[in-house]
Amino acid sequence: MCFDRYASRLLYISRSYALANVNRLIPEQSLPPHESSPDGSLQYHLSHLPPLEDPLSPMTPLAPSIPSITADYSSRDTRIMSIVNLTPDSFSDGGQHFNTSSSALTETIKSHIAAGATILDLGGQSTRPGAPQVSSSEELSRILPAIQVMLSLPEAKNVAISVDTYRADVAQEAIKAGAHIVNDVSAGLMDDSMLSTVAKLGCTVCLMHMRGTPETMNKLTHYPDGVVETVGRELLERVRAAEAAGIRRWRIILDPGIGFAKTQEQNLELLRRLGELRRFPGLQGFPWLVGTSRKAFVGRITGVTKASERKWGTAAAVTAAIQGGADIVRVHDVEEMGQVAKMADAVWRVED
């Protein structure tokens, strides 16, 4: 955005904010009469502000050194969230980065950043269906060394560190160690302390739609009111719970939970109708993260059994997510999906 346009938007915001607040405090008062305002009322001035080229958009911080997400800007760039599984049992690349040396982990992180990742999502607990649950201490023993590596790398200074966890104590220790984002697949449902902990930490949180637990979610796919309507309603409940716990609205990212308590057809419908979900009453203006990378439904549709070979199907799903308005795509194949995102942005992220 050019400086003049940015400055004009700041002036507009300042003016509208001032008028709105003065109108609340002294609604019976009037501004000095002007030819453009027959009665000089504050409400008249407020209602007759000229429209903006783009709607006002909340700014969702990711990390201090990188630009915030402005979800309503039509020409925004899609952010690439790189998956770094530090577990022995994740569905796609389990074991690849588990218990690895510091030098090997450093090279992995450098390669993801060089390939175009602007967010690295560190996971120490697998959430694949039926995954065994490890202790918080074990999860932290996997995550904290990776955070320290990232903080030591000059290459990572403009990259946000996300922690993929549903445990409040893990989130707290990770953020204190230098991470920026908590990515909770349960949106606070699997740990009653998560939302209040995030509120105290003051960090950004991603709330994903899921039902049950990784062990039970595949049995909870009944959506009698329709998957878009129900996911929207259930996510809105989690947003309200987050706000009630003290999390600021501009600190929330939403995720429709592709592959979590969803059938293949429900996953596809969410991708087709993501734009509708983004406009669900009460959810407007939030940034959205979508993760389709190498997932089982992609393999079933394309006939590719091996998860690491599902790049082509993932690429199509990433394009669909960006068309629907996703702000962040969570991927394994960073370089390839980065190119897909750039092309999709060129097609779909244009000025209205």
For residues 182 and 195, the answer to whether their CB atoms sit within 8 Å is no
Pair 41, 127 in one domain: no
Pair 29, 133 in one domain: no
Pair 63, 32 in one domain: no
For residues 122 and 146, the answer to whether their CB atoms sit within 8 Å is yes
In a domain, 52, yes or no: no
Q: What integer pLDDT is reported at residue 5 of this predicted model? A: 47
Q: Which amino acid is at 74?
A: S
Interhelix angle 227-245/264-272, rounded to 10 degrees, is 80
- Which tokens is 267 given? 């996953």
Question: The domain spanning residue 230 has which CATH number?
Answer: 3.20.20.20
Does 4 have pLDDT greater than 50?
no
Tell me which of 278, 295, 311, 349 is the catalytic residue: 295
Tell me which of 79, 262, 310, 330 is the catalytic residue: 330
Q: Which of 337 and 35 is assigned the larger pLDDT?
A: 337
pLDDT in tens, 193-212: 999 999 999 999 999 999 99
Pair 137, 247 in one domain: yes
In a domain, 177, yes or no: yes
SS percent in the chain: helix, strand, coil, step 5: 45, 15, 40
pLDDT in tens, 24-45: 555 555 555 555 555 555 556 5
Residue carrying structure tokens 């918080």? 136
In a domain, 65, yes or no: yes
pLDDT in tens, 123-175: 999 887 777 788 999 999 999 999 999 999 999 999 999 999 999 999 999 99
Pair 241, 327 in one domain: yes
Pair 123, 38 in one domain: no
In whole angstroms, what is the distance from residue 339 CA to residue 352 CA?
A: 23
Q: What integer pLDDT is reported at residue 276 of this predicted model? A: 98
Q: With cut-offs at 50, 70 and 90, classify the pLDDT of residue 1.
A: very low
Respond yes or no: is residue 295 known to be catalytic: yes
Pair 70, 38 in one domain: no
Respond yes or no: is residue 142 known to be catalytic: no
Pair 90, 39 in one domain: no
Pair 235, 327 in one domain: yes
In a domain, 54, yes or no: no
Pair 25, 134 in one domain: no
Q: What integer pLDDT is reported at residue 88 of this predicted model? A: 77
How many domains, the chain? 2
In whole angstroms, what is the distance from residue 228 CA to residue 269 CA?
A: 8
CA 51 to chain centre: 28
In a domain, 53, yes or no: no
Interhelix angle 168-177/136-152, rounded to 10 degrees, is 20
Residue 64 is classified by DSSP as T
Q: What integer pLDDT is reported at residue 215 of this predicted model? A: 87
Q: Where are the beta strands (DSSP E) in 42-128?
A: 59-60, 69-70, 79-85, 119-123
Q: Which amino acid is at 161?
A: I
In a domain, 127, yes or no: yes
Least confident of 44-53, 81-90, 233-242, 336-345: 44-53
In a domain, 163, yes or no: yes
Q: Is 219 helix (H, G, I), strand (E, B) or coil?
A: helix
Pair 93, 209 in one domain: yes
In whole angstroms, what is the distance from residue 279 CA to residue 178 CA?
A: 34
Pair 153, 189 in one domain: yes
Range of the domain at 124: 59-348
Q: What integer pLDDT is reported at residue 351 of this predicted model? A: 73
